[in-house]
Amino acid sequence: MPQHHPQLIATLAVGLGLAFLFGVVAHRLRVSPLVGYLLAGVAVGPFTPGIVANQEMANQLAEIGVILLMFAVGLHFSLKDLTAVWRIAIPGSLGRMAGATLMGMGLAWMFGWGIGAGLVFGLALSVASTVVLVRALQERRIADTERGHIAMGWLIVEDLATILVLVLLPSLAPALKGDAGASAGIWSSPS
């Protein structure tokens, strides 16, 4: 006999219902529906009174949503388009990420944080939302222009750099804490 999961259905129904409602309100206020979707997530989150979605299930659904959004971004941009704008996209995106990381590290230094915490904070500030930008470019009908291709190429390079950072950051964590000997073992361990 099949097992039913009413929490899954309730979480989906409440989440989609509020996303629709807040999206319509945002559209009526002439704001991007993404703002409404974000507010719907805040409304069912654990930090606001009222309906609270099952957090574990909501986190899993959010991961699926991010996967689908990144898939949608991949549908709009081809490798041919990226190679056409690489001379602008690679240095521009890496330079912007480096600048934002350094500013974040400077701000963290002003707060009295260590260099490792400052680096992680700066890297978190340097990440741009590809999905939000693609949506904004589509709403303004400039996604298929040269400027749109440059902007999307810029963000694709940033996404690839962010993936590299996320892969390397756990390996660098001991060195960022000041324990350089612990990180050397990670790099030299046989696979």
* CA separation for the pair 109, 72 (Å, rounded): 38
Predicted TM-score (pTM) of the model is 0.63
Within its chain, how far is the Cα of 186 from the centroid? 27
**How does residue 76 score in pLDDT terms, banded at 50, 70 and 90?**
low
Orientation of helix 55-76 relative to helix 146-176, angle to 10°: 130
**What's the pLDDT tens digit per position in 119-131?**
888 888 888 777 7
Torsion-angle region of residue 78: left (phi > 0), alpha (psi -120 to 50) or beta?
beta
Amino acid at 22: F
Return the pLDDT at 110: 93
Among 55-69, 147-161, 176-190, which range has the highest average pLDDT? 147-161
**Burial label, 122 (beta-carbon count in 10 A; 0-12, 13-18, 19+):** buried
**What's the pLDDT tens digit per position in 103-156?**
999 999 999 988 888 888 888 888 877 777 877 888 888 878 888 888 888 888
* CA separation for the pair 150, 72 (Å, rounded): 18
* CA separation for the pair 60, 54 (Å, rounded): 10
**Burial label, 92 (beta-carbon count in 10 A; 0-12, 13-18, 19+):** middle
